Amino acid sequence: MNAREWLQSSGMKLGTILTIDHPAIVEIARLAGFDWLWIDGEHGRFNEVSAATACAVNSGGPPTFVRLPDRSATSIKRFLDIGCDGIILPQVSSAAEVDEIARAALYPPRGERSVGIARAQGYGTRFEECLRIQEYAIVVQIESTAGVRNAEEIIGHAAVDAVVIGPYDLSGSLGIPGKVDEPQVVESIAKIQAICSEAEKPCGIFAATAEKASVYAESGFDLIAVGMDCSVLLGGYEAMRARIVGGLKRDREVREDLRSQNLS
């Protein structure tokens, strides 16, 4: 099943964001059993070399989507050539921007993507097939007031295979950064989700916590990216340390209490 067919398959798909450009991180996330992996080249440390390594390490595993550092034609073709299952384009705010993405991402006659030989084409062994069939997915992020305003045209564009909402950037665009549960943000998210449903396009969203991911799952989102490696790692270490320190503190308090009882 190619990435476009996978996106259209039924059921909620749970993924996570990877920002640390090390193969072990990819392997660990894969072992955790996620349905898809989000390799972050925008805010994370991944470039096209380390992202290609991540895709190779995850070969045969869940679909790997790479968020590009920008929407330039150069970034689009270089990251598509690494052989990821799909690209995620940040901060898409108009149909005209999707037109530019399509020209760079699709081979002629649909677009103007230049022809090269790389991992995506099996280093030449799958060249004809890749020219004939678009197996990779184009996912756009709507995360601004302009994007919400133009959501119908963006989502309805033939080149768009799925949408992922960025609630934190959206809250910033609304002038309330980080307040993703404020009515303006919630209403904007609901509007995008409704348009996706009408257009029969998968709709995804980022959730910072497992609790928020559960809420989004109940709301019917098709794709959910929960947490990111650095915050999960930090949170795990903090929780482990807190349990140990808390246990030691309780033990000390018990000993002191017993000592005071013996003295009395």
Give 44's Cβ-side CA count (13 Å radius).
Answer: 25
CB atoms under 10 Å from CB of 37, counted, come to 26
Beta strands in the chain (DSSP E): 13-18, 36-40, 64-67, 86-89, 137-142, 162-165, 203-207, 223-228
Q: Distance between CA atoms of 73 and 102, rounded to whole angstroms?
A: 10
Q: Work out whether the CA dihedral 46, 55, 210, 90 comes out positive or negative.
A: positive
Q: Which of 174, 143, 152 is nearest to 67 (CA)?
A: 143
Annotated active-site residue in 1, 23, 32, 43: 43
224: β partners: 14, 205
Q: Distance between CA atoms of 33 and 147, rounded to whole angstroms?
A: 32
- Residues with Cβ within 8 Å of 3's Cβ and at least 6 positions away in sequence, in order, are 63, 65, 85, 86, 135, 136, 137, 161
State yes or no: is 157 an active-site residue.
no
Residues that are catalytic: 43
